[in-house]
Amino acid sequence: MTPSTDWSAYGKQIETAKTLADLEQVELAIFGRKQGAMTLAMQQLRDVTPEEKKTLAKELNEQKRTLDESIAAKRKALQTPSASSLANDDAIDPTLELPARERGHLHLIPEFIRQVEETFGRMGFDVAYGPEVEDEEMNFDLLNFPKEHSARDAQDVFYVQKDAPKDNKWLLRAHTSPVQIRYMREHKPPFRMICPGRVYRKDADATHSPMFHQWEGLMIGKDVSLANMKAVMETAVRELIAPDASFRWRTGYFPFVEPGLEMDMRWQGEDRQTREGAWLEIVGCGMVHPNVLKNVGIDPEQWQGFAFGFGVERMLMIKHQIPSIKSFYQGDLRFLRAF
Ligand code: PHE
């Protein structure tokens, strides 16, 4: 059966095609290489007289062009949003804010530790790490803690049940200060280093957690002074926490520094406490005790320097006004997403 040559009927079919697949059906019916109505009609031109051929060919070519054009136009229309949706003013609103695409990011604590490493890196400080399980010698003795010092109390320190000599038990380090010892044993002064990491103490309330993070700093040289220490620490706090912070220094006691100091800060942040102008204790520090230098084979007559120990969570709680230290560890995405 020869297909219909009612070209205007094909034209209607093109117009009413609802999908690209519909359109392809019509296109095939007209232009299909074997059975297409137009293909066959063109072939029939061979069988007519030259005069007939002239008029017929002209007519067919016109029909062919019209159909070609309407197929192309229809295809374009079906590929773009429909006319009715475009007519609606609200259909495309270029000012509309799309919901933010969720992206993962570092947890607040490792992110801050990276910033600490960068800030101190710019001041020439090396980064070192140490093990979380140490012994009493590393955590206390070499840091000049007297044998009977109260910080050694099992009330405060997690001891590890692992075979050890009676007077040198294994424990979870209570501060990052043992890394000072490790670093000084392995490096010749002068040097500057920080050592971030986890520390453990039997302490739990809104501002204390049995596990928390510190970063210790150590700088040893021929003439490293308290003035250098203040400059380094103030620069770091201004850069990491509050550019407008002011500082106050008080004496403090830590067996491994002499003199020992505590640094307090005050800033204009949103914190209710600080707005009243209260000073916040933030960090212990001081000049490394000559006994500590001797313990690692550094001559205290030739070398001197300072050490400090910041609490990571404490700094973040001040910076972001976080009331409870538990928020850091609960994995509550509503909290973590806020940073
Ligand atoms: N290790 C002390 C602490 O955890 C902090 C400190 C470090 C103090 C270095 C002085 C010098 O409390």
DSSP for 219-280?
EEESS--HHHHHHHHHHHHHHHT-TT-EEEEEE---TTEEEEEEEEEE--SS-HHHHTT--E
**Is 311 inside any structural domain?**
yes
pLDDT of residue 3: 80
pLDDT top residue among 162 and 258: 258
Ligand 1 contacts CB of residue 308 (under 6 A): yes
**Is 192 inside any structural domain?**
yes
Q: How much is the average pLDDT of 274-297? A: 88
For residues 39 and 188, membership in a common domain is answered with no
For residues 175 and 76, membership in a common domain is answered with no
Ligand 1 contacts CB of residue 257 (under 6 A): yes
For residues 185 and 301, membership in a common domain is answered with yes
Q: Which protein residue has the closest C-alpha to ligand 1 atom 6?
A: 309
**Is 96 inside any structural domain?**
no
Tokens for 18? Answer: 């609802």
Q: Is the distance from CB of 35 to CB of 61 less than 8 angstroms?
A: no
Total domain count, the chain: 2
Ligand 1 contacts CB of residue 293 (under 6 A): no
pLDDT one-digit tens code per residue, 130-169: 999 999 999 999 999 999 888 888 889 999 998 888 889 9
pLDDT one-digit tens code per residue, 300-329: 999 999 999 999 999 999 999 899 999 999
Scanning the structure block, which residue is given the tokens 């021929």? 222
pLDDT of residue 87: 61
Per the structure, the complete domain to which residue 296 belongs is given by 108-336
Using the predicted structure, report yes or no on whether residue 199 has a pLDDT greater than 60: yes
For residues 19 and 141, membership in a common domain is answered with no
pLDDT of residue 90: 60
Most confident of the following: 1-10, 60-69, 172-181: 172-181
pLDDT of residue 251: 97
- d(Cα 291, Cα 146) in Å, to the nearest integer? 12
**Is 305 inside any structural domain?**
yes
Which residues partner with 127 through β-bridges? 194
- d(Cα 36, Cα 63) in Å, to the nearest integer? 14
**Is 71 inside any structural domain?**
yes
Q: Is the distance from CB of 306 to CB of 226 less than 8 angstroms?
A: yes
pLDDT of residue 88: 61
pLDDT top residue among 123 and 266: 123
For residues 114 and 237, membership in a common domain is answered with yes
Tokens for 162? Answer: 């692992």
Tokens for 272? Answer: 């209710």
